[in-house]
Amino acid sequence: MTVQDLLYAELYTRHAPTAVDYFVSGMGFTRIADSVEPDRSSILLRQGETRLIVTSGPGTTRFLDRHGDGIADMAFSCDDVAATHDAAVAAGARSLGVSHGHPVVSGFGDVSHTLLPHATAATAELPPGRNWVPSTPAPDPAQEGPVRLLDHVAVCLEGHRLTEYADFYENAFGMSRYSSEYVAVGDQAMDSIVVRSDSGRVTFTLVAPDPSKEPGQLDAFIERNGGPGVQHLAFLVDEIIPAVRRMSEAGTEFLATPDSYYDVLAERITGMREEVAELRSVQVLADRDEWGYLLQLFSRSPYERNTLFFELIQRQGSRGFGSANIRALYEAVERDRLAAG
């Protein structure tokens, strides 16, 4: 009973045109199809292998009142949908009935997982179950943006529940623990466990504040979000520097990185001295592990509650998540949070 792929992430929003414009104009996604139902309307966006569904309407009101704009569902393709549903319920998930002809189970907070058959969903142009109407004109492959696929999903949980949810995703969906990290910054600290499917195509970075420390940005996220939720989606790109420049020119705002970070970067990562100036110019972060290096940068949240944000990541052999940059990200988000009051 294992999941194979994360077929799409579904964003609930109060104002679909603004949300769609952020992804299409700001990040290079393409509008693929629309679906209209009695209580909601959905817009399917795609870039590379990444599919996002933007949904609004009366059927989303309960979620939006509690959490604001954010990811409400992440659909899994499964080898055996019925067996995966039963395993998830046995592991503690709630069965949420059927949506668009497919079973849905609870994940964390109010975020759910729609379960789709891998054999048919993996090759379908449009996610099965909805009455999709393809957009016109048809997408132009030459206009494809820089995003290749969804590298990982960061999930913010309450303190003390990290192990519980890592066990849940292992028992419910056959995912395995991949790595863990504890980061302390001053009087605050966060803990994380990465779980990944055997296919390697579903990766969740579970993060939680250390409740024995002073409250910090993760506590603030949970308060603003009305509970646990998706903190950020990480998009894999081949060349992050031109991607950042392109998105920045289109209006996407990224978190600032202090100059002091780059002052020591060349010493921390040997062989990158010549690249440091270019990285500094776009404020991209760099990290290295035993397999190679990675480059990454995080956006500001475009949403009213300052919750969900996005990451761009370029991997040059690295299999990690920028553990040396977790502190830099934490500090950057903390500065942004304090500046916002």
156 and 218 Cβ atoms separated by less than 8 Å? yes
- Does the pTM of the predicted model rise above 0.75? yes
Of the candidates 294, 262, 293, 292, the one whose C-alpha atom is nearest the C-alpha of residue 277 is 262
Per-residue pLDDT tens listing for the chain (341 residues): 689 999 999 999 999 999 999 999 999 999 999 999 999 999 999 999 999 999 999 999 999 999 999 999 999 999 999 999 999 999 999 999 999 999 999 999 999 999 999 988 877 889 999 999 999 877 776 678 999 999 999 999 999 999 999 999 999 999 999 988 888 877 888 899 999 999 999 999 999 999 999 998 899 999 999 999 999 999 999 999 999 999 999 999 999 887 778 877 877 777 777 788 899 999 999 988 888 889 999 999 999 999 999 999 999 888 877 666 766 666 666 666 677 66
DSSP state of 301: P
Query: How many of the other CB atoms lie within 10 Å of CB of 294?
Result: 24
HSE-CB of 82 using CA atoms within 13 angstroms: 0
d(CA 320, CA 98): 36
What are the backbone angles phi and psi of residue 197, rounded to the nearest 5°?
-70, 160
**CA distances in angstroms from 29 to 34, 52, 74, 147, 238, listed in the order given:** 14, 9, 18, 8, 16
